[in-house]
Amino acid sequence: MNITKLAAIDIGSNSIRLLISNVIEYQNESHIRKSQLVRLPIRLGADSFVAGKISDRNKERLMYAMQSYSLIMQVNDVSEMRACATSAMRDAVNGDEIRAEIKEKTGIEIEIIDGEEEARLILQNDFLRGLIEDARDFLYVDVGGGSTEITVFKSGVREKAHSFNIGTVRLLNNGVNAVAWDEMKSWVYAESKSLTQPVMVGSGGNINRTLKMSGKPSGSALSLDYLETQYDFLRRFTNEERIVRFDLNVDRADVILHALRIYINNMRWAGTEKIYVPKIGLSDGIVRDLHQRLSQK
């Protein structure tokens, strides 16, 4: 048996995640097992989507996070890593400047990836492969703080993908207009017409938390009716009450309703009654993609 450690850093609009996974090589088979996940609530999108740049304070906090992550990876003897930044860093005019400073001070090189690459990485998942192998029609919807990535599969084959600048932090800061919603609605309507009994697969911290609140295990399906009921229920409470009554993180309580609104709308537009939640994210996809690339060398 041979065990190596791979790491992924996901610099999102709502939080920054470090995932360390064990890659176990045994009897000519590879097994990837999550070892450690660290999440820091640095809401870069609150700067980027409102002011167009990351503030000095959040730049400092991001630097501290990367320095901490560098040390954690050293302690864990991580052999290879990849760091990816998404919507907030894409939109920030000082994104490249911050990347260069982090590289100089920590040695971590951050890639600012587009929506297409973000969707490709998240799709590196066994649950999705099962739907593909079964030749199912489905929509994969990943809701982040700054954007929503939607990928359409017909008979297990990837047909179309699109990234929309509609995310929970943008909505929280009134950064999404009616035109953006209409664009998403028209696209989902058009791309769903040819699908036969499509289902939806959802990813993102908010849908994962919603699944946990339902009491169902990872990979289970939630109905449209359940999401609508949960949305109506949670909106009765203030952010403070959601934190205390439902044990939600501070940076989750104020965005979860926005996320549910995005999922519910997409389910209605696509005509789907179920959304499967395999609890996957960008960091998982980065690790799997990194492993595949290293295996091909």
Give pLDDT tens digits for 238-283. 999 999 999 999 999 999 999 999 999 999 999 999 999 998 889 9
Sheet holding 2-11, edge to edge: 29-40, 16-26, 2-11, 80-85, 110-112
Please tell me the predicted confidence (pLDDT) of residue 113: 93
pLDDT band at 134 (very low <50, low <70, confident <90, very high): confident
10-31: pLDDT as tens digits: 999 999 999 999 999 888 888 8
Does 87 share its domain with 206? no
pLDDT band at 146 (very low <50, low <70, confident <90, very high): very high
Please tell me the predicted confidence (pLDDT) of residue 280: 81
Please tell me the predicted confidence (pLDDT) of residue 193: 93
Task: Say yes or no to pLDDT of 119 above 90.
Answer: no
Does 228 share its domain with 131? yes
Total domains, the chain: 2
Of 70, 88, 113, the position where a domain reaches its end is 113
259-271: pLDDT as tens digits: 999 999 999 999 9
Is there a domain that residue 118 lies in?
Answer: no
Is there a domain that residue 287 lies in?
Answer: no
Is there a domain that residue 211 lies in?
Answer: yes
Please tell me the predicted confidence (pLDDT) of residue 288: 92
Q: Give the domain CATH number at 196.
A: 3.30.420.150
Average pLDDT, the chain: 93
Does 133 share its domain with 273? yes
Please tell me the predicted confidence (pLDDT) of residue 27: 83
Cα separations in angstroms, 67 against 27, 62, 82: 37, 9, 15
Of 49, 78, 113, the position where a domain reaches its end is 113
Task: Say yes or no to pLDDT of 98 above 80.
Answer: yes
Does 186 share its domain with 248? yes
Q: Helix, strand, or coil here: 229?
A: helix
Is there a domain that residue 170 lies in?
Answer: yes
Does 88 share its domain with 145? no
Please tell me the predicted confidence (pLDDT) of residue 132: 76
Please tell me the predicted confidence (pLDDT) of residue 124: 78
Is there a domain that residue 85 lies in?
Answer: yes
Q: What whole-number percentage of the chain has pLDDT above 70?
A: 100
Please tell me the predicted confidence (pLDDT) of residue 125: 72
Q: What whole-number percentage of the chain has pLDDT above 90?
A: 83
Task: Say yes or no to pLDDT of 214 above 90.
Answer: yes
Is there a domain that residue 289 lies in?
Answer: no
Does 233 share its domain with 269? yes
Distance of alpha carbon 205 from the chain centroid: 7
N-term to C-term CA, the chain? 20
Does 155 share its domain with 104? no
pLDDT band at 228 (very low <50, low <70, confident <90, very high): very high
Does 17 share its domain with 104? yes
33-89: pLDDT as tens digits: 999 999 999 999 999 998 999 999 999 999 999 999 999 999 999 999 999 999 999
Does 149 share its domain with 68? no
Range of the domain at 56: 2-113
H-run or E-run covering 141? strand 138-143
Does 181 share its domain with 275? yes
Does 240 share its domain with 268? yes
Is there a domain that residue 16 lies in?
Answer: yes
Burial class (CB in 10 A: 0-12, 13-18, 19+), 249: middle
Better-scored residue on pLDDT, 69 or 293: 69
167 and 87 in contact (C-beta within 8 Å)? yes
Please tell me the predicted confidence (pLDDT) of residue 118: 86
Is there a domain that residue 73 lies in?
Answer: yes
Does 223 share its domain with 132? yes
